[in-house]
């Protein structure tokens, strides 16, 4: 899955790129409208994240030009402006969705998943460990063929742990990436532990092999017992 990010703010572009790379997407970032149009018109990309306020060609001009060329690549507009006029203009120009900055990264991922449903890559969008399966599009979880209903936070937590399967995940990582909290504190640690316990009781309790393990003093890990 190849995503083109057209964003002139270097820090924002880099943060989006790093986040998407760690989710397994291929990412090209460009910083001007002209370069964005050139890349979008000349390369095969699966999705375009398009800032509206760009030097040179504006996001709307790029979008209009692409649609005129007959390119129907899904476009998700990212903008700092949240006015009705901008939304209408963006969607009228052929954007598929609209996200106002600053946004939480999981929200961006959810929009990307929704927009790329048709051309989905099963490697990125299905996660598996032993008989536990996650479908990142429908957000359905199964173990040994049985549906496991999770709350949305439990799902986000499990998806994060599964994306790091075989690797230890610390409470800091969970606080930062799943709860989007910069300063970790004891009350949040308690919240994390409560969610971990609920998740464990749902995915592990009625099955032979535990998959969610606590590593004392470090954090948590998803793995089968025969893995080291
Ligand atoms: Ca901008």
Nearest alpha carbon to residue 76 among 109, 104, 32, 44:
109
Question: Which long-range contacts does 82-91 make (Cβ < 8 Å, 24+ apart)?
Answer: 86/52, 89/60, 90/52, 90/59, 90/60, 90/63
Q: What pLDDT, on a 0 to 100 scale, did the predictor assign at position 108?
A: 92
pLDDT at position 94, please? 79
Domains and CATH numbers, the chain: 2-120 (3.40.50.2300), 125-222 (1.10.10.10)
Find the 182 Cα to ligand 1 centroid distance in Å: 24
Ligand 1 center to residue 55 CA distance, Å? 8
pLDDT at 110 over 90: no
Confidence of residue 92 (pLDDT cuts 50, 70, 90): confident
- d(CA 48, ligand 1 centre) in Å: 15
Query: What spacing in Å lies between the alpha carbon of 39 and ligand 1's midpoint?
Result: 18
Pairing relation of β-strands 47-51 and 75-79?
Answer: parallel
Residues 117-161 have pLDDT tens digits of 654 444 456 789 999 999 877 789 999 999 999 998 999 999 999
pLDDT tens, residue by residue, 171-186: 988 988 888 887 767 7
Q: Provide the whole-model pTM.
A: 0.52
Which residues are CB-contacts of 178 (< 8 A; sequence separation ≥ 6)? 106, 153, 156, 157, 160
The Cβ of residue 139 has, within 10 Å, a number of other Cβ atoms equal to 15
Report d(CA 55, CA 53) in Å as an integer: 7
What is the whole-number distance in angstroms between the Cα of residue 7 and the centre of ligand 1? 6
| pLDDT computed for residue 118 by the predictor | 53
Average pLDDT across the chain, whole number: 87
* Half-sphere exposure for 95 (CA within 13 Å, toward CB): 26
227 pLDDT more than 90: no
Q: How far is the CA of 34 from the centre of ligand 1 (A)?
A: 14
Contact assessment for residue 96 and residue 114, using Cβ atoms and an 8 Å cutoff: no
Task: Tell me what pLDDT residue 84 has.
Answer: 65
Take residue 13 and report the two structure tokens written for it. 């572009």
DSSP code of residue 177: I
d(CA 144, CA 72): 39
Looking at residues 110-115, what average pLDDT do you find? 84
| Distance between Cα 31 and ligand 1 center (Å) | 9
Taking the CB of residue 76, how many other CB atoms lie within 10 A of it?
A: 21
Q: How far apart are CA 53 and CA 150, in angstroms?
A: 39
Ligand 1 centroid to Cα of residue 116, in Å, is: 24
What's the confidence (pLDDT) of residue 213? 96
Residues, Cβ < 5 Å to ion ligand 1: 8, 51, 53
Q: What gap in Å lies between CA 201 and CA 104, rounded to an integer? A: 28
CA distance 159 to 179: 13
The pLDDT of residue 119 is 46
Whether 104 shows a pLDDT value over 50: the answer reads: yes
Distance 164 CA to ligand 1 centre (A): 32
CA of 53 to the centre of ligand 1 (A): 4
pLDDT at 184: 67
Range 80-107 average pLDDT: 77
Decide if pLDDT at 33 tops 60.
Answer: yes
Distance 42 CA to ligand 1 centre (A): 22
What spacing in Å lies between the alpha carbon of 224 and ligand 1's midpoint?
45
Average of per-residue pLDDT across 105-122: 73
């Amino acid at each position: 899955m190849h995503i083109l990010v057209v964003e002139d703010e270097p820090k924002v572009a880099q943060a989006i790129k790093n986040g998407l790379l760690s989710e397994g997407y291929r990412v090209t970032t460009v910083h001007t409208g002209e370069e964005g149009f050139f890349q979008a018109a000349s390369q095969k990309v699966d999705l375009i994240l398009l800032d509206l306020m760009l030097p040179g060609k504006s996001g709307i001009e790029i979008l209009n030009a692409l649609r005129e060329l007959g390119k129907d690549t899904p476009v998700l507009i990212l903008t700092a402006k949240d006015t009705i006029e901008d939304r209408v203009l963006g969607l009228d120009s052929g954007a598929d969705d609209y996200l106002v900055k600053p946004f939480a990264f999981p929200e961006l991922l959810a929009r990307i998943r929704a927009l790329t449903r048709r051309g989905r890559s099963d490697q990125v969008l299905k996660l598996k460990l032993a008989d536990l399966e996650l479908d990142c599009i429908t957000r359905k979880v199964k173990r040994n063929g049985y549906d496991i209903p999770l709350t949305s936070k439990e799902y986000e937590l499990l998806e994060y742990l599964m994306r790091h399967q075989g690797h230890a995940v610390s409470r800091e990582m969970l606080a930062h990436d799943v709860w989007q909290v910069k300063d970790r504190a004891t009350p949040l640690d308690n919240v994390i532990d409560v969610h971990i316990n609920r998740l464990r009781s749902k995915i592990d309790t009625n099955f032979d092999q535990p998959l969610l393990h606590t590593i004392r003093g470090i954090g948590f890990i998803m793995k089968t017992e025969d893995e080291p």
